[in-house]
Amino acid sequence: MSYHGTNWLDKIDQKQDAKIKEHNVQSGDWVNIDWEYGDVWHQVKSVHINKDYYSYLVMYKQVDSKSDNVQTEMKYFYQIDKVAKQLPENARCVYCKDGAFSQRRNNLNKLQCS
């Protein structure tokens, strides 16, 4: 017995994967995840392209809400909402190889991510 809802979800994921592949995401680019606010950005550490729709990247993310430290996490392309080659000016919460930066951490003025 097959569940027809899975086929529909797979098609949605495949469509989003193809959309993100068009951006030619590279190490050092910036991504916003689909369930985050639009001013939250993660620097890309590495990219892994697959022939099917399971392409993914490794990005920097917070260790916890108060720490300046970051760790890495894998995200499938279909989980990504936006891609930018340069960090957008409206970024208010940033995770990069240099750490976690935000207004709440009171260190956004120290942001030097390359």
pTM of the model: 0.87
Question: Which of 38, 39, 41, 26 lies closest to 113, judged by CA?
Answer: 41
Which residue has better confidence, 28 or 12? 28
The amino acid at 29 = D
Three-state DSSP class for residue 4: helix
- Dihedral sign, Cα of residue 34, residue 38, residue 42, residue 43: positive
- Each residue of 83-109: pLDDT tens digit? 999 999 999 999 999 999 998 898 988
- Each residue of 67-79: pLDDT tens digit? 899 999 999 999 9
Three-state DSSP class for residue 57: strand
Mean pLDDT score, 2-17: 75
93: left (phi over 0), alpha (psi -120 to 50) or beta: beta
In sequence order, the 6+-apart residues with CB closer than 8 A to the CB of 80 are 16, 20, 31, 32, 33, 34, 57
What is the rounded (10 degree) CA torsion for 74, 76, 79, 80? Answer: 80
What is the pLDDT at residue 1?
Answer: 40
